[in-house]
Amino acid sequence: MSIKRGRNFLLSPGPTNIPDRVLRAMQRPAIELHSDELIGLARSCLDDLKPLFRTQDGETFIYAANGHGAWESALSNSLSPGDRILVFETGIFGEAWAGMGKSLGLVPEFISGDWRHGIDPQALEDRLRADKNHAFKAILMVQTDTATGITSDVAAARQAIDNAAHPALFMVDAVASLAATDLRMDDWQVDVAVGASQKALMSPPGLSFVAASPKAMEHADKATLPRHYWDWRRRLDEEAYMWFCGTAPEHLLFALRVAIDMIQEEGLENIFRRHQRLADAVRAGINVWAEAGALELNALVPSEQSNSVSAIRVDERYSAPAIREICENQLNTSLGGGLGRLSGKAFRIGHMGDINEPMILGALGSVELGLEMCGVPHGKGSVTAAIATLANSASPALAAD
């Protein structure tokens, strides 16, 4: 039997660390389904998600489902069988979303990528200009691909669509970026954005969110893909029972309410700055390890390096899963593994949500110890480098006081 003491450091990129306050919010009995309390709670969550997506004009929906549910909601409410969709390949999640589209009867086309760069707005513009008959009905992109640690420029994609004067719906997966990296749905004319509870929203897995623009809502009337549970129109019913197409996931809503309260208390701008600052510290540590040539950050362009998650490639002479296993089994530190093309070749450090300086320094220290134990050559001093980075940037929470 192995005995573990102290807290496990959950540095996986979702589910993420759930604050005690959020956990405690669920420690209560269920309440009556049609009570004013539950209806008020549900309404407040739906309304307060809007500022997180930075939308005033859009409608928000909450599903008792993981992120895949929100993906299906986005597609099935706005598209019809045989519709063509254009998808960016910046990691595994764009591919998987498109794969879902295919099984629903849509026809995906990819703008391929090397998984080390974000989307190429020029390639998007060129492809859309060539689509003279406007065959593409939707453009899908993932803001932060959790597999590759790449954050793509949503505003630049919007600009490319506008340059080509293309009318397709613009859909953004913000599962790993919502409340960590800015997403300005109204300003950037995103038609459908999706999110999930278990990442920067600091909540248990099990809820996902969709925000739909007025243009997307109009499409919902014309779209003919079959849908029932996901149907936006049914969920706009006056009867609160229909907002969830059935019994509300009460305890997950209790948790979400407190998580949103915490986000409101800290302020979105401070949250973005905290994520930037902590991610910079993680990257400083990774770059120290990289000096010995056996490890490197997957995302090559600094402005595309995600503030939610870092994917670290490991030279093929060494085992990325072994590093992760040592950290998990012996060092109380949970990391993410490599996914898709990076399977067995990378590990990932999640740094989103309820996370602070000692958690980052602890994680870097643990991983460095894990590298030492695995005999993977690495530059030494990731924690020192991270401290130097943190010391040079003010903590946003302190700055706000």
Ligand X SMILES: Cc1ncc(COP(=O)(O)O)c(C=O)c1O
Name the H helices within 213-316. 214-222, 232-235, 250-266, 268-290
Q: Give Cβ neighbours of residue 133 (< 8 Å, ≥ 6 apart).
A: none
Instruction: Among 66, 159, 332, 395, indicate the residue that binds ligand X (CB under 6 A).
Output: 66
Interaction between residue 341 and ligand X (CB under 6 A): no
Shortest distance, position 197 Cβ to ligand X, whole Å: 8
Interaction between residue 150 and ligand X (CB under 6 A): no
139/164 with CB nearer ligand X? 139
Interaction between residue 14 and ligand X (CB under 6 A): yes
The torsion defined by the Cα of 253, 256, 258 and 260, in degrees rounded to 10, comes to -130
Interaction between residue 196 and ligand X (CB under 6 A): yes
| Structure token pair of residue 227 | 């849908």
- Is the Cβ–Cβ distance between 210 and 235 less than 8 Å? no
Strands (E), 240-373: 295-297, 309-314, 333-334, 336-337, 346-350
298/389 with CB nearer ligand X? 298
The Cα–Cα gap between 149 and 342 comes to 11
Shortest distance, position 262 Cβ to ligand X, whole Å: 21
Q: Which stretch binds ligand X (CB under 6 A): 63-71, 112-120, 288-296, 393-401?
A: 63-71
Shortest distance, position 110 Cβ to ligand X, whole Å: 16
Q: Which residue has the tokens 């309820």?
A: 354
Q: Which stretch binds ligand X (CB under 6 A): 64-72, 277-285, 320-328, 384-392?
A: 64-72
Instruction: Among 119, 175, 216, 288, indicate the residue that binds ligand X (CB under 6 A).
Output: 175
Instruction: Among 21, 50, 68, 234, indicate the residue that binds ligand X (CB under 6 A).
Output: 68
Instruction: Among 111, 160, 176, 279, indicate the residue that binds ligand X (CB under 6 A).
Output: 176
Q: Which residue is nearest to ligand X (CB)?
A: 67
The torsion defined by the Cα of 350, 355, 360 and 362, in degrees rounded to 10, comes to -110
The Cα–Cα gap between 166 and 148 comes to 29
Interaction between residue 217 and ligand X (CB under 6 A): no
Interaction between residue 173 and ligand X (CB under 6 A): yes
Interaction between residue 320 and ligand X (CB under 6 A): no
Measured CA to CA in angstroms, residue 260 lies from 210, 267, 330 at distances of: 16, 10, 34
| Residue 275 C-beta-side C-alpha neighbours within 13 Å | 28
Interaction between residue 63 and ligand X (CB under 6 A): no
Q: Give contact residues for ligand X (rule: CB under 6 A).
A: 14, 66-68, 93, 142, 145-146, 173, 175-176, 196
